[in-house]
Amino acid sequence: MLALAVLVLTLPYAAAASPSGSVTLKAPYGGQGLDSASWATTGCGTKFSLSPLPDFNTSKGTFVGGLSASARSCGASNSSLFGEIEGSLGTTEFSVAADGTYRVTVHWRLAYTVALAATTGGASQFAGSYGLVGAYAVVDDITNGSAYTVGGNDSYYGNSANATSTHYAFPVTYAASISLVAGHEYIVVAGVYAEVNVFLTPGHSSASASVNMGKSGDKASVTSIVIP
């Protein structure tokens, strides 16, 4: 398995603690962005590509990236390829003035295109492909290493006998009330990821899968983060 990872550092944004209200963060965000890609393959006849490379831009609050996988039957063994890209934003540190339960909210807007195809070469052969896109938000207590889930979900797209290419665009909001401790330092981590997988048996089959989150306006955006 090969892997690519890029860490992007940005200038800090000072988010002051607010004992009586909340602070809404919007782009440009402080903190840091983290981007990664990984893939694994078995058998032969597989191909994987990244375009564009995963990139979380903290100044704009946007993530772009694209990945595609394909496979064709060859040899006497099954073939498969799995690939994933991910990007995340980690805010600068914040604290609360008093112990208590505080509301944390993260607003995303996702836009992407999923293209899938799978063709079997015969009745005894099999070919399949799928794509998956998901997002999440967590609060990390960097004082003691604890993590608290704000929210997360993903959407799965499976292949059909005919090639498909479908565009999706929608907002996602994650919110949770979390017990925070005065004197501890916290960050919010908001992340997005996409996966592709193709697999087939020997014979004369083929499969392909791609997720575009970086061309023709497709991208993932953190539109705002509300912290105590």
> Rounded to an integer, what distance in angstroms lies between the CA atom of residue 61 and that of residue 54?
13
Q: Mean pLDDT across the stretch 126-139?
A: 97
The pLDDT of residue 8 is 33
Nearest residue to 168 (alpha-carbon basis) of 152, 155, 150, 178: 155
**What are phi and psi for residue 96, nearest 5 degrees?**
-120, 155
209 burial (CB, 10 Å; 0-12 / 13-18 / 19+) is: buried
**Contact 22/48 with Cβ under 8 angstroms?**
no
> Rounded to an integer, what distance in angstroms lies between the CA atom of residue 166 and that of residue 157?
10
What band does 161 get if pLDDT is binned at 50, 70 and 90?
Answer: confident
Looking at residue 110, its amino acid is L
Task: State pTM to two decimals.
Answer: 0.88
How many C-beta atoms lie closer than 10 Å to residue 61's C-beta? Answer: 23
Per-residue pLDDT tens for 9-54?
333 333 434 444 799 999 999 999 999 999 999 999 999 999 999 9
Q: Which residues pair with 189 in a beta bridge?
A: 90, 138
